[in-house]
Amino acid sequence: MKTIVTLLLSLAVAGAAWAAKPPATVNGKPIDARTYDRFLQQRARQNKRAPTPEDQQAVLDELINRELLYQEAMRRKLDKDPEVAFRLQQQRINTLVRAVIDKEFADHPISDKELKQEYDRLVKGADFREFKARHILVKTEKEAKAVIKQLDKGADFAKLAKEKSTGPSGKQGGDLGWFRLGQMVPPFAAAVARLEKGKYTKTPVKTQYGWHVILLEDSRSQEPPTFEAVRPQLTQLVQGQRVQAMLKKLREKAKIEKNLK
């Protein structure tokens, strides 16, 4: 017990000495100990290890260099420059905006129940099927209809894709591998969802990339990801919803006049 008390007293004395003596001074101006500690902690997080003596010296040198440049900027009165003043103002606003959002989440933390409700809602409304398909991409509807006529006569889809398709998958016979509908542009996804296994589209499908003829080779059902696997994404989603709800309330109370047409 005596040893522990002695240790605590020595730490208290060391802390008091540290507080009285800053880690460095530059032209008589002290480097704030709290600033040094913050930068040192940040480096530790980046390196994923406890700070070494080399880290301590490196951080201190960075702060000394920063202070030298800051003093030089003030000597040149750059804080009075309109562009610099504008940037400083915007940084201040951004910092306060971030602070009010952080305070909102600190005062009202997101619960597991809230995340689970969002997870259940998304899983219920999602399509977890995967599809395996090929396609032939051409520039015009006329070309696509000509491809369909050849397929109707028994032409091999993969061989025709190698000959006709302008898409990057053409060299692989139009093979797109396995994908979910959400990975494809809406017109393409809708056409795939309507197809039966082994069938191809009888009318060309238009997207921003051109005209497609699509063959559905197979489909399969997939299990949804677990709650824990998508927890980070759910947290970001709910945070975004919370911020939007907060902004909605603020807008309802505010008097806003828009002058742009």
Q: What would the pLDDT profile of 43-56 be if each residue is shown by its tens digit? A: 999 999 999 999 99
pTM check: above 0.75: no
> CB 133: neighbour CB atoms within 10 A?
24
**Model pLDDT, residue 125:** 84
Regarding the domain delimited by 128-221, which CATH topology (the fold level of the hierarchy) does it fall under?
Answer: Chitinase A; domain 3 (3.10.50)
Q: For the chain, what is the radius of gyration of the CA atoms? A: 31
Q: What would the pLDDT profile of 205-254 be if each residue is shown by its tens digit? A: 999 999 999 999 999 998 899 999 999 999 999 999 999 999 999 999 99
Q: What would the pLDDT profile of 121-175 be if each residue is shown by its tens digit? A: 999 988 889 999 999 999 999 999 999 999 999 999 999 999 999 999 999 999 9
- What's the N-to-C CA distance of the chain in angstroms? 75
d(CA 104, CA 110): 10
Query: Where exactly does CATH 3.10.50.40 map onto the chain?
Result: 128-221
Q: What does the DSSP assignment read for 193-254? A: HHPPTT-B-SS-EEETTEEEEEEEEEEEE-PPPPTTTTHHHHHHHHHHHHHHHHHHHHHHHS
What are the residues whose beta carbons fall under 8 Å from the beta carbon of 60, sequence distance 6 or more? 23, 24, 31, 36
What are the residues whose beta carbons fall under 8 Å from the beta carbon of 215, sequence distance 6 or more? 133, 134, 135, 157, 174, 199, 200
**Model pLDDT, residue 127:** 86
Q: What would the pLDDT profile of 71-120 be if each residue is shown by its tens digit? A: 999 999 999 999 999 999 999 999 999 999 999 999 999 999 999 999 99
In contact, 18 and 33? CB cutoff 8 Å: yes
Is the predicted pLDDT of residue 8 greater than 70, yes or no? no
Nearest to 215 by CA among 254, 169, 258: 169
> CB 179: neighbour CB atoms within 10 A?
15
